[in-house]
């Protein structure tokens, strides 16, 4: 009798586990740079569009990532890494589904800020006087003005 009850409990636990695992899905993939080389330790985030549920991870040394036990629904997969532009892809995860989302990141554009400091030099100080006088006359058709 004890063996039967124990066997029945193990069987029921196995059925419940199988049903629970069957109601979820997996999103995983590969992250690379524009040349196809893997990006290790890139930040990956999945967000469920309906519930705003979010999970985060980093890619491994081979550029791979995986999120398991996700509820079915629409997700955005966002990948970012320092020096690269952000990549986002929308996907739909089904019950028991496994979706591979391979994303390539391109090098981010360089934004530069130029900061100038110091004393300003007057343009009038750096141009000889005779040239300056020539520049102060405006030549209009039929009219010459002295400034």
Which 3-state string (H, E, C) describes the chain?
CHHHHHHHHHHHHHHHHHHHHHCCEEEEEEEEECCCCECCCCEEEEEECCCCCEEEEECCCCCEEEEEEECCEEEEEEEECCCECCEEEEEEECCCCEEECCEEECECCCCCCCCCCCCCCCHHHHCCHHHHHHHCEEEECCEEEEC
In a domain, 34, yes or no: yes
Average pLDDT on 52-66 reads: 98
Q: What is the pLDDT of residue 142?
A: 54
In a domain, 27, yes or no: yes
Residue 69 has pLDDT above 80, yes or no: yes
Q: What is the pLDDT of residue 73?
A: 96
In a domain, 35, yes or no: yes
Q: How many domains does the chain have?
A: 1
Residue 46 has pLDDT above 80, yes or no: yes
* Tokens standing for residue 124: 């009038």
Q: Rounded to whole angstroms, how far apart are CA atoms 26 and 60?
A: 17
* Tokens standing for residue 11: 């069987």
In a domain, 138, yes or no: no
Average pLDDT on 81-95 reads: 95
Q: Which residue has the tokens 């300056």?
A: 132
Average pLDDT on 34-49 reads: 97
Residue 141 has pLDDT above 80, yes or no: no
| Domain CATH code at residue 28 | 2.60.40.10
In a domain, 46, yes or no: yes
Average pLDDT on 16-43 reads: 85
Q: What is the pLDDT of residue 35?
A: 95
In a domain, 14, yes or no: no
- Give me the domain span that covers residue 66: 23-105
In a domain, 124, yes or no: no
In a domain, 9, yes or no: no
Residue 74 has pLDDT above 70, yes or no: yes
């Amino acid at each position: 009798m004890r063996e039967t009850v124990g066997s029945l409990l193990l069987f029921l636990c196995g059925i419940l586990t199988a049903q629970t695992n069957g109601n979820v899905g997996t999103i995983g993939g590969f992250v690379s740079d524009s040349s196809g080389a893997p990006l290790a330790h890139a930040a990956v985030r999945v967000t469920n569009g309906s519930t705003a549920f979010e999970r985060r991870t980093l890619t491994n040394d081979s550029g791979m990532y995986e999120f398991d036990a996700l509820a079915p629904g629409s997700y955005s997969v966002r990948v970012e890494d320092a020096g690269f532009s952000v990549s986002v892809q929308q996907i739909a995860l089904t019950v028991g589904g496994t979706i591979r989302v391979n994303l390539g990141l391109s090098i981010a554009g360089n934004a530069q800020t130029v900061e100038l400091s110091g004393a300003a030099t007057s343009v009038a100080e750096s141009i000889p006087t005779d040239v300056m006088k020539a520049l102060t006359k405006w030549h209009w058709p039929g009219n010459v003005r002295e400034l």
